[in-house]
Structure 1
Amino acid sequence: MMKLQSLVLATATALTMTTAFAVPAGTWSVAAGAHYVDPKSDNGTVSTGLGNFEVDVDGDVRPTISGEYFIANNVGVELLAAIPFHHDITLKAGDTTIDAKTQHLPPTLSVQYHFDGYDLPMNVKPFVGVGVNYTTFFEEKVYIPLAGDYDLELDDSVGVAGHVGLDIPFAPTEYFRIDARYMDIKTDASLNGTDIGEVDISPWVYGVAFVKQF
């Protein structure tokens, strides 16, 4: 959470700074690339009729696309989209292990400040942003041998998202981007309609992309 607060503070500070603006209001940009969702290491504990299980959610990488519209000089509103991420889930209690899986879509809307026009080395263009993430889960499955049919459900999540990145130009309106996002993703889990606890995914999301401005 301290890392997210730092991102928010950096964004607020950037929005109050003055500069020789280089990205005028009305500019559009599109970024196409790939991102790796890296869930936090401790994903919580769920309680079932079979015991209390520690939850471990693995990572996944998928293609992504984002569009950004500059509502003011150097200030843009960005929407991130992706094809569904797939996650294997391990539930462990002592020597007992249960496997599960899910898919999710994490569209994220952010307000961003681009440090464009600061004459930085190699004309690189850092940026910071803060916004909101909405994650919807689907295709949840759980595998419990010899225990009958179980229906696992993960509720949708809404949380704060932070964003930092660096655009490296190789043409006047084309860039190579590296970035990192923090997403506050927590979901209530249920098994056969009974609440079993909260799963805290809250990942860092690392990505690369090709960016084109219009």
Structure 2
Amino acid sequence: MKQMLAAAVLAVLATGTPALHAADAGDWQVKVGAHVVDPKSNNGTLADGTLKARVDSDWKPTFTVEYYFSRNLGLEVLAALPFKHEVKLNGAKAAETKHLPPTVSLQWHFLPDAKVNPFVGLGLNYTRFFSTDETGPLEGTNLDLDDSWGLAAHLGVDFALKDRWSLTVDARWMDIDTDVKVNGTKVGTVNIDPLVYGIAVGYRF
């Protein structure tokens, strides 16, 4: 994914970028792309520190819709197909789970008339975990992962393509923590706190 991001940006820069048709108040922008959810390396411990948790990465198609209150200020909603993650305890695969991370962000676009338009955003993430399957050391148990609410920070760049089309490269940090229960008993908290990065093509109308 990182190589794909770099190649896409280089291709846009090599062909040149036309002047961006700047957003106006009342405009909408939709984007379709692909993003990686990459949890931080240390996801915490369970069972009084005896089990070290590790959550692996996954990528899926993503979709965003943004409404512009002004040329600079917009409100964006992020959606995606379900991400699937493998959970390891002390290095052994213990479960697989899926999650959906819808996120709402208020965003500031610095250079709405420029060919290269950086932006930042701050918002709220809700993560729902579902379809959790136990295996290995958790085989035969009932594993439950609580849903999560947390802050989300967003940083990216829009590259003008043609007319109302654009290419976006971006990264988000999400505060995602889930309480873990085994057979109804809480055994700890997993701190996922992923970096979510990727690329998308957008159209404004």
1:148-191: CA deviation from partner (whole Å, max 9, x where unpaired): 62010100000000001011111021001100000000000000
Does residue 26 (structure 1) correspond to residue 37 (structure 2)? The answer is: no
CA contact (8 A) 2:94 2:139 kept: no
Give me the whole-angstrom Cα distance separating, in 1, the residues matched to 2:149 and 2:93.
27
TM-score by length of 2: 0.85
> Paired residue for 1:90?
88
Shift in Å at residue 143 of structure 1?
1.2
SS across alignment from 2:69: strand
Q: Which runs of 5+ in 1 are unaligned?
A: 1-21
CA contact (8 A) 1:27 1:213 kept: yes
Shift in Å at residue 38 of structure 1?
0.4
- Letter paired with 1:90: K
> 1:137 pairs with 107, 126, 129, which one?
129
Give me the whole-angstrom Cα distance separating, in 1, the residues matched to 2:128 and 2:26.
31
Shift in Å at residue 144 of structure 1?
3.5
SS across alignment from 1:163: strand
> 2:58 pairs with 57, 60, 64, which one?
60
Give me the whole-angstrom Cα distance separating, in 2, the residues matched to 1:81 and 1:131.
14
**What count of residue pairs does the alignment treat as equivalent?**
185
Give me the whole-angstrom Cα distance separating, in 2, the residues matched to 1:118 and 1:28.
16
> Paired residue for 1:69?
67
- Percent identity between matched residues is 47
CA contact (8 A) 2:72 2:112 kept: no
> 1:194 pairs with 145, 160, 185, which one?
185
Q: Classify 1:118/1:29 alpha carbon distance in 2 versus 1 (closer, same or farther; 3 Å).
A: closer
> 1:126 pairs with 118, 133, 142, which one?
118
> Paired residue for 2:169?
178
> Paired residue for 2:154?
163
> Paired residue for 1:114?
109
Give me the whole-angstrom Cα distance separating, in 1, the residues matched to 2:180 and 2:104.
25
CA contact (8 A) 2:31 2:202 kept: yes
Give me the whole-angstrom Cα distance separating, in 2, the residues matched to 1:81 and 1:33.
11
Give me the whole-angstrom Cα distance separating, in 2, the residues matched to 1:65 and 1:187.
24
Shift in Å at residue 142 of structure 1?
1.7
CA contact (8 A) 1:23 1:116 kept: no
Does residue 151 (structure 1) correspond to residue 146 (structure 2)? The answer is: no
TM-score by length of 1: 0.82
Give me the whole-angstrom Cα distance separating, in 2, the residues matched to 1:140 and 1:117.
43
Give me the whole-angstrom Cα distance separating, in 2, the residues matched to 1:55 and 1:148.
16
SS across alignment from 2:36: strand
1:56-111: CA deviation from partner (whole Å, max 9, x where unpaired): 00000000000000122310000000010000010018xxx352111000000000
Give me the whole-angstrom Cα distance separating, in 1, the residues matched to 2:193 and 2:42.
10
CA contact (8 A) 2:86 2:93 kept: no
1:105-161: CA deviation from partner (whole Å, max 9, x where unpaired): 000000001123464xxx11111000000000001122146x862010100000000
